[in-house]
Structure 1
């Protein structure tokens, strides 16, 4: 099976970009050089790769990418910092308004 990667980039404007690829090195080059000028990251360089995870099933990688894209900034930062215990708590919503 071909390796796939879910990755998170920290952009120059302090935002995060989450993507999926089968060739992380090539995709980073594409981001760094604005190979796709209409891509979100093209105008937000320089970029820093702050997280990636490997998958042997591209479908699982796509699922994880979609999941992470829905996460709050705090939850993404917990993942980036390896604070896995906080992920569950950060998923809870406060409905007592």
Structure 2
């Protein structure tokens, strides 16, 4: 099986193992390598991973968590609110909900 693969590869690349060349290629240049700066700013490996669009910072629906000032409702909304309930009323409602 690998013999077939090697034969196909030789035909595609133009190399033939039947005629080995005795002389190295004169026109090939020596490879050069250089040191590149590392892209990380910290030692955290998550810094190198691309952002996939998740998390609280990229989701506009959770932008309210990054709000600066408190929300002050309009006077119309304030007037439409029911009066606050007493502790006894809240305890009775909680007991009613817990029994269901």
- TM interval, shorter chain, is under 0.3
Query: Does 1 or 2 have the higher relative contact order (CA < 8 Å, sep 6+)?
Result: 1
Q: By percentage of residues, which structure has more strand?
A: 1
Decide which structure has the larger Cα Rg and report it.
Answer: 2
